[in-house]
Chains A and B, each alone.
Chain A
Amino acid sequence: MRSKKPSTNAISGETGWTEIISPKRNFLDINLGEVWRYRDLIALFVQRDFVAIYKQTILGPLWLIIQPVLTTLIFFIVFTKVARLSTDGIPPILFYMSGVTLWTYFADCFSKTSNIFVTNASIFGKVYFPRLTTPLSIVISNLLKLGIQLGLFFLLFIVYYLNGQFQLHFQWTILLIPLLILLMALLGLGLGIIFSSLTTKYRDLTFLLQFSVQLMMYATPVIYPLSSTGGHLRQVLMLNPVTGIIETFRYSVFGQGVFEPALLVYSATFTSVVLFMGIIIFNQVEKSFMDTV
């Protein structure tokens, strides 16, 4: 046993601290190791989200499939039957479904992580755990949702193929699909946590966010192919980091659409910057948000 009188014996008293709580945190003092230690918590959060959401519903997880199917049908009626928009020769149902499924994943990651401080205030106010576990669990539980929806998409894809409605045009870029999904996940996460850090203080952003995500869909080639646009409009659309992701996906699966490596590199760079900034801001805010939320 060591004897300690820290006021007089500063040197031995100052050693062996496992943790120091202080007001300011270094910008780059990001403890990802801690997030890893709490991986079980992330898994349990995902499980909770899955189990709890469909309790006391009749259709249960079937809703996961009903949502994209209905949206696709409506898009088909409105944009193909009424507005007669081009789908680049791809069967419209498949075209819309691919766009809707991917876009919904991005939009969900973004909007659901954007208010985690507000929605989890009661938990965050009582227990400390690495706050990043919450947005990560959202991204992961949405990933499971995406998996199911993509499964449905490929099922329809096979049905169309067996009916001889189109030829297979798989491109080598199909190997990039996991990367595309990862990019969307990280982009949604990055944007989401930046906004979540701001909504703790300025709730106005919640409203702004709700409709800007809706509007952003129209600035992304979800319901129209990029090839149907031209000139300045096309330039602007290519600034949208999601554009490259969705176009690459369609190119890989249908062999139609725009595949430009530069566009994908742009998306990846954009995502990295946003994610990096997001984590830094989040890291700063998670410390004292309880006082402002």
Chain B
Amino acid sequence: MADTVIKIEDLYKQYKLGVVSTGTLAHDLNRWWYKLRGLDDPYEKVTELNTRAEKGNAEYVWALQNINFEVKQGEVLGIIGKNGAGKSTLLKILSKVTGPTKGQIKIKGRIASLLEVGTGFHPELTGKENTFLNGAILGMTKSEIRSKFDEIVAFSGVEKYIDTPVKRYSSGMYVRLAFAVAAHLDPEILIVDEVLAVGDAEFQKKCLGKLKDVSGQGRTVLFVSHNMAAIDALCSKTLIIRNGRVGFEGPTQEGIKNYFADSLKINEGKAIADFSRDMERYGKLVRIEAIEARSQFFWREPLELTFSVRRIDRNITALEFGFGINDTSGLRICTFESGEAYAFPEGSDTLSLKVLLTEPKFVPGKYFIDLGVRSSTTTLDHIICGVSFEVMEVDKQGNHFGFTQGTSISGYINTEGIVTQIIN
């Protein structure tokens, strides 16, 4: 059993909403007056749960609530969650950039955090000068940096420009040098926030490799990312932060599944009410009740789409269906027609179908699905942009391909690879 190197106990973090300066003096005085009388902070009571979308009335919000977990030595912990869930706040507290409101964190060993690459880089200084400055900001001594300098420069691949001011660097070179410095820190615990989102594919792969090396040397790594492939490739354990609380803690595979399940729920929650449908023409005899798809897929991963249709008119016994996939610009990139009709199961008014696209060819990006059902003679229901999904830039193995949407047609479906099955 490994040693516990980070222990977080009942951690809370409160933030004030809105403009900070207005009313702060009054609040400060009020707070101080309550404190003087030995009472609790009057503003703690009005804090709401951290949900980004719903606008609350409270002036203060709990960005983190009741966070408890431990990290063992040598563990690589992935931290995932939606934007605004509190991941970065947690990292900021761990990095001592800001303090917690309540609770505490116990740490064993030297900790280095990488919330950004190139912090403190001065545009007028040369690459070499910045390497020293940045290294010192990250906690290295001059002699440590000097001893690793050649390695850092080699890793960054900017040898030629090392005596040029960094303001003349391309943004890619800048990031390479900055990451190279950070990668050569020798902490016992390393905290990394989303920094892999920068640089080109080759460099990203190099960074991931470096992180893998670091974790292989028995160091502890905390890694925040939206890139599930990277999380999958690096982390043994995953933590999901959901609205400022720990939503899940466990093995990465399960964590990622759990995270996708979250996305699925959001698609479900939106339900049919939000779906755009021409109420005059459609949905009278049969109605599409639900469409479900995971919100993210790996590149080349089979896409799975489930939907169910309820009949209002029992004379309809079987349905054909068709769907179209649109990219973010609204361009229809492919359509599929089922061709055959699927019958309602015996004694049921609901038909549920699962469509599996085994050979999807999509460029990474976001897509929207239109779905229609019809009898042999007429379209009975048609839903526009019923569900969206995202194809990620990496495949399941973590390989990265540098495509982007929008240069030409973004994808097509190999209809041979489509399998439809009735699931009820």
Contact = CB atoms under 8 A, between A and B. Distances in A.
Nearest to B117: A126
B138 to A, nearest CB: 6
B125 A23 contact: no
Given A22-B104, A23-B103, A126 B136 contact: no
Given A13-B7, A18-B109, A48 B97 contact: no
B1 A2 contact: yes
Contact of A127 (B100, B106, B120, B132): B120
A159 B92 CA distance: 58
Given A1-B1, A52-B124, A203-B21, 14 more contacts: A14-B106, A21-B93, A23-B104, A41-B136, A47-B129, A48-B133, A122-B119, A123-B119, A126-B97, A127-B116, A128-B95, A128-B96, A128-B113, A287-B98
Contacts of A288: 98-99
Contacts of B133: 44-45, 48
Interface of B: 1-4, 7, 15-16, 20-21, 24-25, 28, 70, 92-111, 113, 115-116, 119-120, 122, 124-125, 129, 132-133, 136-139, 141-142, 165
Contacts of B113: 127-128
A47 B141 CA distance: 15
Contacts of B119: 122-123, 126-127
A115 to B, nearest CB: 15
23 contacts: A13-B7, A17-B7, A18-B108, A19-B111, A21-B94, A22-B99, A40-B141, A44-B132, A52-B124, A55-B124, A122-B119, A123-B120, A126-B119, A127-B115, A127-B137, A128-B95, A128-B96, A128-B97, A201-B21, A287-B98, A288-B99, A291-B15, A291-B20
Contacts of B102: 23
Nearest to A124: B97
Main secondary structure of the interface of A (DSSP, over half): loop
Interface string A148-173: 00000000000000000000000000
Contacts of A202: 21, 24-25
Interface string A42-72: 0111011001100110000000000000000
A287 B137 contact: no
A126 B142 CA distance: 21
Nearest to B120: A123
B129 A48 contact: yes
A287 B138 contact: no
A129 B111 CA distance: 11
A3 B1 contact: yes
A16 interface: yes
Contacts of B108: 16-19
A41 B135 CA distance: 9
In this complex, which of A17, A127, A203, A292 has the most chain B Cβ atoms within 10 angstroms of its Cβ?
A127
A252 B75 CA distance: 65
A20 interface: yes
A177 interface: no
Contact of B116 (A6, A21, A126, A287): A126
A33 to B, nearest CB: 14
Nearest to B11: A21
Contact of A291 (B16, B25, B95): B16
Interface of A: 1-4, 6, 13-14, 16-23, 25, 38, 40-41, 43-45, 47-48, 51-52, 55-56, 122-129, 201-203, 287-288, 290-292
Contact of A17 (B96, B107, B129): B107
Contact of A290 (B94, B97, B103, B139): B97
Contact of A20 (B104, B109, B165): B104
B40 to A, nearest CB: 14
Nearest to A40: B142
Contacts of A51: 124-125, 129
B52 to A, nearest CB: 18
Contacts of A290: 92, 97-98
Contacts of B1: 1-4
A275 to B, nearest CB: 24
In this complex, which of A20, A21, A125, A201 has the most chain B Cβ atoms within 10 angstroms of its Cβ?
A21
Contacts of A203: 21
A203 B24 CA distance: 12
Contacts of A124: 97
A21 B125 CA distance: 34
A2 B104 CA distance: 23
A291 B98 CA distance: 7
Chain A to chain B: the 6 pairs with minimum beta-carbon distance, closest first: A128-B96, A41-B136, A22-B104, A287-B99, A21-B105, A3-B1
A21 B99 contact: yes
A123 B137 contact: yes
B24 A201 contact: yes
Contacts of A43: 142
A78 B124 CA distance: 39
A15 to B, nearest CB: 9
B139 A6 contact: no
Nearest to A127: B119
A288 B136 CA distance: 22
Contact of B115 (A20, A23, A126): A126
Contacts of A291: 15-16, 20, 98
A38 B136 contact: yes
Contacts of B165: 55
A52 B125 contact: yes
B104 A13 contact: no
Contacts of A19: 106-108, 111
Given A17-B106, A44-B132, A125 B4 contact: no
Nearest to A125: B97
Nearest to B72: A4
A202 B27 CA distance: 13
A6 B115 contact: no
Contacts of B125: 48, 51-52
Given A41-B137, A290-B98, A2 B107 contact: no
A3 to B, nearest CB: 4
Contacts of B142: 40, 43-44
Nearest to B102: A23
